[in-house]
Amino acid sequence: MTKITVNGTAYDIDVEPEMPLLWVLRDELNITGPKYGCGIAQCGACTVHIDGIATKSCQVPIGNLEGDVTTIEGLGTPEALHAVQEAWVEHQVAQCGYCQSGQIMAAASFLAETPNPTDADIDEAMSSNLCRCGTYPRIRAAVKAAAVKLEGV
């Protein structure tokens, strides 16, 4: 039995310790925000926070998990979106939307560490999250807007 805290809720999970966190979230807890994209930590669709750090959940065996997990479902609420979520909506970033939860989670973690990023900072930080639709200019604009919003918090 493995104990895990996701979005502030504690769970006891009875799975093999090698099972990736992504599958625990999706298949055992029915938390479907993190997506399966590549399975080799290259696309970023499965990005979650572990103790606030953006992490590719497809590569974290549940038996090695140390820390609390936050998924897109726990980042904000419908009544109070996170600044990155607000900026994503305002800049109409999503096209197909498949990568967006991972993009948003990566951006939120990045902005927590780099509150006043340059375009180059944003491009470098977000380069490990891929978007098949190519909305990179909108992603950069949304990250910049979210940085401004977070500055006022």
Q: What is the DSSP letter of 130?
A: -
Average pLDDT value over all residues in the chain: 96
Match domain 2-74 to its CATH number in 3.30.429.10, 3.40.605.10, 3.10.20.30, 3.40.720.10: 3.10.20.30
Segments of the chain assigned E as strands: 2-6, 9-13, 47-50, 53-56, 69-70
Domain-wise residue ranges, the chain:
2-74, 77-151
Rounded Cα distance between 48 and 44, Å, is 9
Identify the CATH homologous superfamily for domain 77-151. Answer: [2Fe-2S]-binding domain (1.10.150.120)
Q: What is the pLDDT of residue 5?
A: 98
Whether residue 34 is predicted with pLDDT greater than 70 in this model: the reply is yes
Whether residue 153 is predicted with pLDDT greater than 70 in this model: the reply is no
**Same CATH fold, 77-151 and 2-74?**
no
- Three-state DSSP at 3 gives strand
- pLDDT tens by residue, 65-88: 999 999 999 999 989 999 999 999
What's the rounded mean pLDDT across residues 48-66?
Answer: 97
